Structure 1
Amino acid sequence: MASPALAVDQNTAFLPFQIIAQTVDESLTDKVDDNLTNVLLLNNFQMLDREEAEELVDYTKWPPDTAALDSIAKVTGLDSVAAGSVTIIGSQISIDVKVYDVLNPENPRYFFKEAGSMAELELIIGQVMDEVIAYAERDQLIGRIAPDGNARIDSGAILRKIQSKAGDTYDPAILRDDLKAIYSMGYFDDVQIDVTDGDTGKVVTFRVVEKPAISSVSFSGIDELDDDDVTEVITIKENSILNPARVNEAAAAIETLYKSKGYYNTTVTPNISYPTPETAAVRFVVEEGKKIYIKEISFEGNDSFDSDDLEDVLETKTKWFLSWLTEAGLLDRGKLEQDSARIVAFYHNNGYLEARVGEPVITQEEEWLYIKFIIEEGPRFKVGTVNLEGDLISEKEVFLSMLAIRSEEYLSRKTLRDDILRIQDYYSEQGYAFAEARPKMDISESGSRVDITLSVDRGDLVYISRIAIRGNTRTRDNVIRRELEIEEGGVFNTKGIRDSNRNLQRLNFFEEVNITPEPALDPSKMNVSVDIKEKSTGQFSIGAGYSSVDNLILMG
């Protein structure tokens, strides 16, 4: 049935059905009228009251004659009349409906549905009336909508960009928005709307003129980088539709690539030519300029730490005499963002839990770059009381002895994080693979101290379901399994996994050993994957290292 959201102004009078059956009683009449009324109400339409209809139409002479149609039109003020009948013969039901144009009653539109039982009465009334309404309101509904003129752009891709759909109310304002949406795809030089009348409603056609296809993509002025490196960062390709916005994006991507290599003044100008009306040649003209390095990194707001201390945590560096080899001093925006996070972490690990760092300020002066980090340090917090609660599987003192944060004067997020991992690892060694320790931090009334409580949830005890060994072609499974400190059906144990890895490495049979826990279908179980890479036959290794204690060390 049609949705109320698609309802339009009613322009058709709907007469109650004539009922043809062996027995027509009040119950059957009410049932048919109620079903028709409900279907029409879903579309915000109304059925003419049966008593009123019987005053206008002689139901013994069906269908209504021209005089009756004129009377209905005058009373209702509507342009069309829908008159139908329900015929019931045994268990068979059929519905016939004619829609009359009061100005041309000799040529009505006919609709028909049938069903095999009375249980389907409401269904077929709904089906036939959906068709009747679509036809009667065809001047106000979209019957069909499609693009035309698109040879390379898929019609589905175009239709997914618009709001209007077949069956929707015809709304010129929405169609204008649809036109803009199609044009904004960037693939068309022109988009026009063509609207004609059809049997089921307005036929809306978006007539498009596609942009040319890209016949070639080339570069000029590239000396310091490889063409292949530049090609990798652009999204436009040969034989794709020309999209000027995408071309500009590609030029910007090339400039970004150059900036990441230190060529901060590089400009890229896209030129588009048209060898034929159907094709376009794109050429990117590159002016590389010279490499620009970072001359100075400064900090603002760092009252508690020297700039040298902060600069030590940065990956971004200023230029020095080996920059030609190490690329130190070149600006990498990705690294710069990470450096902001590193400064925040540095402060958080030194008690400044509310420290913030703004976006780095980059200034260019002639051939040099200057970078400034603006810092808000906030207050410094000391470590207060440290406690544990929850599912403790050992005495509290055992856990407290593990916590390095207790010996810290100032709160350090890194130290606290390491302590949490240490406790969770202790639980994992006892088979509680999913244990969690959550910190609760309360600032004291003085505002200078933080009290810490670690709340432990041990979770369920986890067992090892299956141990899968992969990658061994010469070494038998039993040789590997006897080195494992874990077993199928046993309690999960992270220490056993570490010891197993160490044992396999000591065999000196393998180049790589990776033992990885993996979730099983049963949440109380884990699978363990042992992935190995065997050494080649006859392979040996030798290496050398230097220790200030042991001097030269040979390894073989």
Structure 2
Amino acid sequence: MIASIRLLLMLLVLGSGMVAIPHQVRAADAAPLITSIDVDGVRFVEKQAVIARMGSRVGKPLDRRQLSRDVRALYKAGFFSDVRFTGDRSDKGIKLVCHVKEYPLIASLKIEGNDEHSSKDLEKKLKLQPGGFFSPQTQHADRNTLRKGYLKDGFYQNSVEFVSTPRKDGRVDVVVKIYEGKVTRISRIHFIGNHSFSDSELAGAIASRQTDLVATLMKRDVFDKKRFGADVQMLQQFYLNHGFLDMKVDSEQLTLSSDKRSFSLTFSIHEGIQYRVDQLDVQGDVVPDKETLVKLIELESGENYSLKKMGDSIQAITDRVGDEGFAFASVTPLMKRDVDAHTVSISFEIDKGQEVYVERIEITGNEKTEDVVLRRLIRQSEGARYQGTQVQHSREELGRAVMVDDVRVSMAKTDVPDQVDMKVNIKEKKTGTITGGIGYSQREKIILTAKIAENNLFGKGYQANVNGQLGKVTQNISGSFTDPYFLDTDISASLNFSKMKSDPVTTITYRTDSSSFGVSFGLPITLHLSYNMAYNYSRTTLSAVPANSSNLIKAQAGTTVIGEVSNALTWDTRDRLMSPRRGTMESISFSLAGLAGNSKFWEAAASSAVYIPFDKEGDFVLNPTIDYRTISSLKGTNVPLWRRYSLGGIGSLLGFDINGVSLRDQVTGEALGGDKQVRGGVKMFFPLPYMRTSGFRGVVFADAGTVWGQASNKVGNIAFATVPEPFSFARVRYSVGFGMEWLSPIGPVGFAWSFPLRTVKGDITRNFEFALGSSF
């Protein structure tokens, strides 16, 4: 017998994926034992890693089906471009050798041609990475990922190519070349079968937009497959809100132009009959009473049927029945049509279900925040009857809490039929920050800033912060501590302090040094209405007054002490405090100075701000504002110079320098301030391309404002050195412009380019403004 027989097992890649073994080998011995397994051809992959992926093992009989599976497994790993087996046979068995050819390793990866997305963002989506294998499978997967991403953004001409350059060490440098092409926009939206509404009315009811200036800015004219699918539902809702119960979209057609630069959308519509509401009723479990529930129905007899009003009515009735303790109440509308009369009668069938009590409230997810801090925000009480309105208010209050990122509330049934457990799942967010920065502004030059803040101190909901700013003109430090639930009540209590020095600048000629300490209390009256009372004690020294300054400024040189009590009533429905997207904020306030100190005066103010979103995400927000203030001295004293009104700068009147609009000394031209002020404006916020998720947003604005009254000094009740200025529309200043805001970790940073449209002699204008720590 020959001592050993050389055996060659060649892999034949067939449709069945099986390994072909020579006939003479099968005849001699169909299943020799594997005595050893070796791997040949590997440079970057460990031999044991290759063997670990195989099913063939030393000591087991050679199995051609298993070898076939091993080949497929090694190919699937994505490391090898070629796999084959050979073997040396002896009396003891067969020595198996796996021959592989590796794909080259990626030494470097670079992306070119990407203007729409940053390389950093694209690299996160790629499977190809430096140190990984450059395989066709991975290239195919990455090409599809990139192309789908660009298609989603409306780039239907895009293409992706991978170019590799070999190195001497066997690795390759890979360049991902992207051709983005132009955005494929919607050139035309057409409707067929619409008789009751015009094409423009229906175009306004859907999410997709035909190309125009506004649609281009909002990217609503970029074709989006999901948006196109939603357009059908939006058309149906539009018709249902106008009484067309039988309306349906027969077909929707999408046509891509031959150059792939534009789409044409066509909707074929069947309108049907428009129905008016006839009779309205409630039936079933009428709780608390029929009269109460009927008043909640927003639909009215004689008007066109509306799906939105129907939904709002169902929700209102469900909530009201829920307030009686029925957590699982359901309301079903029963509709009876009269086709001939074109009317529909609606009866709301109520199934109140089991009356339940909230046995326990369980809070989960709060790793840092103490339970009691969150329970104070929950309006529903344990052991009390379920109340749907209180549960909803609890959800809203928790959602607004500074330590809560997300909240989920659900009702879980218990073993007792009339009891439920209220499950509150909290997702906390980071509340502590330590930040520092360096910046530049035209007024302050180099600015150094630092901030330490914690909005959930010790997990008890306390809010504390210390801020410092060092610039050429202003040096200040301030801090505050707030207990939102002082003495376990709904009253918030705050302590604050500040120390600020200000040197002369182009708009003022004197130096100020001020320190203050204050305490305030806030009382919520309703969910959105609150009352605040505060006392602030301050000492301000005005010094370094030039000899040629205004007599009104010279008269106030020295130290002024103010003890001031202020009251404010605020209505706030904003969805968030920073960069609101919707809601309103109205405020009226009154302050009285004279409780300690040598300065006595009163001040009153009223302001309003509205935030109107133009899209679902709240990226485009219209923000009209108006503010009025007046201040007056008491008992022969003077209103401090720094408390009088001047306008200019970000947060005030753009297009003018700080104190750029003011009452002025007729000889020296120095800003003295008025005792009345009004300012208003309108802003449009919008996302910036490529910076949507980085805290940046753009703004265009129009501002208007003026100050008036008189600047004077008093000795007793006698005024001298008076500078009067009556209100006049001719003296209202206007400006327009554009800007950019960044919500940085250390606070808002604003840039504004402004163009004054009306100025008055003596005004100081400024076309560019940079500000750190103040918002538009």
- Class of the TM-score when normalised by the shorter of the 2 chains: 0.5 to 0.7
Q: Which residue of 2 aligns with 1:526?
A: 422
1:465 aligns with 2:360: yes
Q: Which residue of 2 aligns with 1:212?
A: 104
CA contact (8 A) 2:127 2:138 kept: yes
Q: Which residue of 1 aligns with 2:236?
A: 344
CA contact (8 A) 2:297 2:313 kept: yes
* TM-score, scaled to structure 2: 0.41
Q: Which residue of 2 aligns with 1:496?
A: 390
| Aligned-pair CA distance for 1:253 | 3.5
Residue 254 of structure 1 aligns to which amino acid in structure 2? L
CA contact (8 A) 2:158 2:178 kept: yes
| Aligned-pair CA distance for 1:237 | 1.8
Aligned residue for 1:281, secondary structure, equals: strand
* Matched length: 408
| Aligned-pair CA distance for 1:312 | 0.7
1:414 aligns with 2:314: no
Q: How does 1:368-517 map to 2 (within 5 A)?
A: 368-377=261-270, 379-380=272-273, 382=275, 391-396=285-290, 398-405=292-299, 407=301, 412-439=306-333, 454=349, 456-466=351-361, 481=376, 485-497=379-391, 517=409
From 318, 326, 331, the counterpart of 2:210: 318
Q: Which residue of 2 aligns with 1:70?
A: none
Higher relative contact order (CA 8 A, sep 6+): 1
Aligned residue for 2:382, secondary structure, equals: coil
Percent of matched pairs sharing the same residue: 18
Q: Distance in 1 between matches of 2:124 and 2:396?
A: 42
Q: Distance in 2 between matches of 1:183 and 1:336?
A: 41
Residue 287 of structure 2 aligns to which amino acid in structure 1? I
Q: Which residue of 1 aligns with 2:126?
A: 234
Cα 1:171–1:332 shift into 2, 3 Å: same
Aligned Cα RMSD in Å? 5.8
Q: Which residue of 1 aligns with 2:714?
A: none
Q: How does 1:5-404 map to 2 (within 5 A)?
A: 151=45, 183=75, 186-192=78-84, 209-223=101-115, 225-259=117-151, 263-275=155-167, 279-321=171-213, 325-350=217-242, 351-352=244-245, 355-356=248-249, 358=251, 361-364=254-257, 366=259, 368-377=261-270, 379-380=272-273, 382=275, 391-396=285-290, 398-404=292-298
Aligned residue for 2:315, secondary structure, equals: helix
Cα 1:219–1:491 shift into 2, 3 Å: same
CA contact (8 A) 1:214 1:282 kept: yes
Q: Distance in 1 between matches of 2:395 and 2:264?
A: 46
Q: Distance in 2 between matches of 1:147 and 1:492?
A: 71
Aligned residue for 2:188, secondary structure, equals: strand
Residue 545 of structure 1 aligns to which amino acid in structure 2? A
* TM-score, scaled to structure 1: 0.54
After superposition, what is the alpha-carbon deviation per residue over 1:121-173, rounded to whole angstroms, capped at 9, x for unaligned? xxxxxxxxxxxxxxxxx9799999x99678379669957xx9x999x999967
CA contact (8 A) 2:374 2:398 kept: no
| Aligned-pair CA distance for 1:353 | 5.2
Q: Distance in 2 between matches of 1:384 and 1:269?
A: 64
Residue 377 of structure 1 aligns to which amino acid in structure 2? H
Q: Distance in 1 between matches of 2:33 and 2:193?
A: 64
Cα 1:476–1:279 shift into 2, 3 Å: closer
CA contact (8 A) 2:50 2:74 kept: no
Q: Distance in 2 between matches of 1:397 and 1:169?
A: 86
Q: Distance in 2 between matches of 1:380 and 1:170?
A: 77
Aligned residue for 2:309, secondary structure, equals: helix
Q: Distance in 2 between matches of 1:553 and 1:511?
A: 32
| Aligned-pair CA distance for 1:361 | 0.7
Aligned residue for 1:218, secondary structure, equals: strand
Cα 1:310–1:142 shift into 2, 3 Å: farther
Q: Distance in 1 between matches of 2:76 and 2:381?
A: 62
Residue 494 of structure 1 aligns to which amino acid in structure 2? G
Aligned residue for 1:458, secondary structure, equals: coil
CA contact (8 A) 1:139 1:202 kept: no
Residue 493 of structure 1 aligns to which amino acid in structure 2? Q
Cα 1:341–1:278 shift into 2, 3 Å: farther
**Bigger CA radius of gyration:** 1
| Aligned-pair CA distance for 1:554 | 6.5
CA contact (8 A) 2:286 2:350 kept: no
Residue 524 of structure 1 aligns to which amino acid in structure 2? V
Aligned residue for 1:524, secondary structure, equals: strand
Deviates more, 1:203-212 or 1:305-314: 203-212
Residue 214 of structure 1 aligns to which amino acid in structure 2? I
CA contact (8 A) 1:464 1:528 kept: no
| Aligned-pair CA distance for 1:211 | 2.6
Q: Which residue of 1 aligns with 2:536?
A: none
Residue 364 of structure 1 aligns to which amino acid in structure 2? S
Q: Distance in 2 between matches of 1:352 and 1:373?
A: 22
Q: Distance in 2 between matches of 1:497 and 1:230?
A: 43
Residue 403 of structure 1 aligns to which amino acid in structure 2? I
Deviates more, 1:271-280 or 1:416-425: 271-280
CA contact (8 A) 1:294 1:329 kept: yes
CA contact (8 A) 1:263 1:292 kept: yes
Residue 609 of structure 2 aligns to which amino acid in structure 1? G
1:545 aligns with 2:609: yes
Q: Distance in 2 between matches of 1:193 and 1:470?
A: 55
| Aligned-pair CA distance for 1:432 | 2.1
Q: Distance in 2 between matches of 1:314 and 1:252?
A: 30
Q: Which residue of 2 aligns with 1:78?
A: none
| Aligned-pair CA distance for 1:243 | 3.0
Cα 1:139–1:398 shift into 2, 3 Å: farther
Cα 1:495–1:241 shift into 2, 3 Å: same
Q: Distance in 1 between matches of 2:332 and 2:374?
A: 41
Q: Distance in 2 between matches of 1:241 and 1:477?
A: 54
CA contact (8 A) 2:321 2:352 kept: no
Structure 1 gap segments, 5+ residues each: 1-137
Cα 1:518–1:217 shift into 2, 3 Å: same
Q: Which residue of 2 aligns with 1:102?
A: none
Residue 265 of structure 2 aligns to which amino acid in structure 1? K
